[in-house]
Each structure stands twice: as C-alpha cells, then as structure tokens.
Amino acid sequence: MKDGGMLHWCDTAAGALLACVSAAMAACPGSFLPGEAFNVGWNFGMCVAADIDGDGNLDLITGTRVLLGDGNGGFPRLLAPDVGVVSDALVEDFDRDGHADMALVSLGSKEIHVLFGREHELPGDEFFEPDVSIPTVQNSWHMACGDLDGNGTRDIVVGSGAAPALSIVLNNGDRTFRSLTHAGLPQATLALALGDYDGDGQLDIASGNSSNAVLLFGNGDGTFGGMVVSPLLFQGAPAGVHRFRADDFDRDGRADLVACTGYGVSVYSGAHVDRGAGLPAQAAVEIALAGRGRYVELADMSRDGLPDIVALAETEAGATEIRVLCGLAPTPDAPIAFTAGEVFSPAIENLLIVHALGDMNEDGAIDVVAVAEGDGESQILFGTDTGAKASGDANGDGTVDVADAIAVLSHLFADVEAPCPNVINVNGDARVDIADAIYMLSYLFAHGPAPCGAPRPCG
C-alpha cells in the first residue's frame, strides 16, 4: 500500500501503529544541486565511483576513461587504460596490499583484465602494473565480486551477454586466478548480483535475463549447488530485468534482491527464498517508475544507516527521471518498506543510461553522477543531505516533535529500530531507555530542557 509517501503494507495493530507513525515521518532526500555538464568519453552503459589513486577523493571509471577526482566535484586528470571499450568494472584490493586494483571487461571480449595498483609518489607516476588477462566466457558483459571460496580474497563472477554461461574467477591471493565455467543457464546474463540469499553464510549468485532470475546457491568453496530458475514478474506480468543489486533491507541476515525491470523496481525478500523454488512468487515490494526502468544503485542516501534505492527510468517522452526510494527501519508488519523522495531530471539532452553514487565533493552528502548513452555527456547532482540530525530527531525528519518520542517508545517496546539511533539518547546519560522518551515529552509539553548533544549522523 502507498500512504503518505510510504511504500509498504501496514495494519493498525497497536504495535504496528507506533511503527507506522514513526516510519512514515522519516525524511527522504529529493533535493539536489545540479553541477555543470561534463564529458566522460564514449560510454556503453557503465560508470563506477571509487578512489583509484589513493588520495581520498572519489574517481570515475567509464567506458573508455578513468577520471581522477579532486574532491570538489571536478576531474582535472584522466587515464585511458588500453583495454578497449569497457562494459563493466570492479575496484577492489584483490591482492590485499592496500592499493586499489581494477578488474575491467571489454565489450565483446572473452577475457577480463585485472590491473594491480602500485606505489606512486609523483602525479606522473603510473598507478597500475601492466594488466593481467584472465580467460572468461565469450562476450563477457557484467561482473560481480565477493569471497566465494572462503580464502579471504575477492573472487569475480563474469556473465555473458550472448552465451548461457558464467565464469567463476577464483582469486588465489598472489595475483593469480583460476577461471571456471558454469554452463547450463537458460539464457545470457543481463543482470548479476551476489548475496547470501538462503541464509547459510555462503555467497550465492543471482543472474537475470529477459524473463527469469537464476539462483546458484554457493557451497562456500567456489562451487555451487543446484540451479533454480524463477520467473520475473511485475504486478503479475513478465518483466525483463536490466539490473540486479542486493542488500539486507530487513536486517534478517539474508540478502534481499533488487530487480530493476522494464516496469519498475521489485524487491524480493531473502527470508522467502527457497533452495528448491528460488525467489518467492511475489516480490515484497513493487514500485512503479515514471517509465521504463533502466538502472538502479544502492546507497545510504538519507544517512540513517539504512540502504536506499536510486532508480533511473526512461519516460514515454524519451526523457530521463531519477527517483530516490529511502529504506525504512523494518517492523514486524513491514519488514521491507520505502518512502519515496522527489523525482528529478538531469539537464542532459541525450538519454541517460547509468548513474554512480558517492560523495564527489566531500561535504558528507551522497551525490548522483548521471551519464548519457553514447557520447558520455554527464552531470553530477550534488546531494544536500549530509546526514547530521539534531539531538532528539529520532525519525530524521528535521524536526523534534511528538513523532520522535513515539519513535523512541517504538524502539524500546515494539522492537522497531529507530531511523536515527545516534540521536535518541537525549538526556546525556549514555544509555537509551524510557527516561529519554519522558525527557523529550517534558521538553515538548512542559517547558523542560532541550535535548542534550550536538547534531550527529543518524547511523
């Protein structure tokens, strides 16, 4: 149900009512300041924000360039790795030496390239060693990474845009890799996300295509058990997927799967994933977008310690709209729920296809880097929510009122996580208890002292 900007199911039982009141009041950022348009070079559907050169500033990896950030939202220097047009990239410390490494897959290739970071002191120094090529499936397309075999290093899963197969690239930790092929998927891979979907402590693979989601359940040693195929539906109709992402929205220890489809965004609860049946028949949440869903990323946009969704959609008029969907603290009646922020459109003429998230100007707020198809015209939408909330603003809506006292009571007695737990100890005694709720009510209705403490981030 959608009610007052909140997207979830909610009944009116006494405990649930407290949860609904406190959750519905949570703020969701929708205010962004547009930066100047700039060009990232020819792009084929990827943009990654990460600190490549180790200076503490976020950089951008796009289809043909690496743009080095200055920490103010600008990119005065660029690199051009000689690996062709990149269709996906990962930034990890694959050899655990403290330097950022890159894994790149070139459009239409049968291999991936790993570039290991190196020590550098002067601006002109090389950041990477010569690339290491690893054979993978034909027409390698998307990548995801995680520790699949339990040896403490980051492994890579590579999906094919043409073949019904995946490559499992296991990291030996010494700059060498073993590449295994897992064949027999029903179709090529259009979306890929790793997560512990069945709650057994091992990473699993979710692979998506034009009509299905394929789950491969990990054994923890780099091998996978039976494959389960589940239809992807949106409001009962078949829905081809464009991107998968995963996070634990309901805090139950199992990954939940976010699917960006042609109709909208669906979130499948890991609590209802079955090793025999795969994804549940019904998504926990389905959120229609203003047009055809194209891309999705996850980040804590509201700085409350909960994962949020940023979705990009193409409207019927050919424009692009971006919407922030803020995750709410889980409740027994709404374990996965969101409140919708504003819809906004970057000032770029060409159709946007991807976006990256990160604090590009280091002001504490998460920014959106929007990139257009083809020519790479781009724009940064600078976030304005730095996450600092006043003491007592338990629900993070920017004011201290009775809803905050209710949020504290829900936290204490209804097992509902407060949206901003860092600011609910208002009487300065270093513990959260009924005295904090009484203190807040006294401040609001009996001219009591103001909540103690300086503004702090929620989570």
Name the superfamily (CATH) of residues 389-457: Dockerin domain (1.10.1330.10)
Q: Which CATH number fits domain 32-384: 2.130.10.10, 3.40.50.720, 1.10.10.2840, 3.10.20.740?
A: 2.130.10.10
Per-residue pLDDT tens over the stretch 361-370: 998 899 999 9
- Pick from 209-223, 282-296, 342-356, 440-454: least confident: 342-356
Decide: residue 294, CB within 10 A, 0-12 exposed, 13-18 middle, 19+ buried: buried
Does the structure show a pLDDT above 70 at 23? Answer: no
Report, as an integer, the average pLDDT of 319-342. Answer: 91
- In whole numbers, what is the pLDDT of the chain averaged over residues? 87
Q: What are the start and end residues of each CATH 1.10.1330.10 domain in the chain?
A: 389-457
Residue 301: phi and psi, rounded to 5, are -65, -35
C-alpha distances (whole Å) from 19 to each of 16, 60, 143, 250, 304 are: 5, 40, 38, 14, 16
Predicted local confidence at residue 389, as pLDDT: 78
- If residue 19 lies in a helix (H) or strand (E), which one and from where to where? helix 14-24
Report, as an integer, the average pLDDT of 79-89. Answer: 82
Tally of CB atoms within 10 A around 430: 6
Report residue 123's pLDDT band, with 50, 70 and 90 as the boundaries. low
Report, as an integer, the average pLDDT of 439-453. Answer: 88
Q: What are the start and end residues of each CATH 2.130.10.10 domain in the chain?
A: 32-384
Q: What is the DSSP string of 47-81?
A: -EEE-SSSSSS-EEE-SS-EEEP-SSS---EEE--
Q: Residues, the chain, total?
A: 459
Higher pLDDT, 163 or 389: 163
Pick left, alpha or beta for residue 205 (phi over 0 → left; psi -120 to 50 → alpha; otherwise beta).
beta
Report, as an integer, the average pLDDT of 78-102. Answer: 89
Pairing of strands 132-135, 140-146: unpaired
Per-residue pLDDT tens over the stretch 225-272: 889 999 999 999 988 899 999 999 999 999 999 999 988 999 999 999
Higher pLDDT, 89 or 31: 89
Q: What is the DSSP string of 112-139?
A: EEEE-B----STTS--BPPPEEEE--TT
Does the structure show a pLDDT above 80 at 441? Answer: yes
Q: What gap in Å lies between CA 244 and CA 454, rounded to an integer? A: 39
Report, as an integer, the average pLDDT of 91-95. Answer: 97
Q: What gap in Å lies between CA 175 and CA 95, rounded to an integer? A: 6
Q: What gap in Å lies between CA 382 and CA 397, rounded to an integer? A: 20
Report residue 124's pLDDT band, with 50, 70 and 90 as the boundaries. low
Share of the chain above pLDDT 90, in %: 55
Share of the chain above pLDDT 70, in %: 92
Report, as an integer, the average pLDDT of 25-32. Answer: 64
- If residue 314 lies in a helix (H) or strand (E), which one and from where to where? strand 308-314
Per-residue pLDDT tens over the stretch 377-404: 899 999 987 767 788 888 877 788 899 8
Give residues with Cβ within 8 angstroms of 230, minimum separation 6. Answer: 212, 213, 214, 215, 277, 278, 279
Per-residue pLDDT tens over the stretch 394-432: 887 778 889 989 989 988 998 888 878 888 889 888 889
Range with the largest mean pLDDT of 81-85, 219-223, 381-385: 219-223
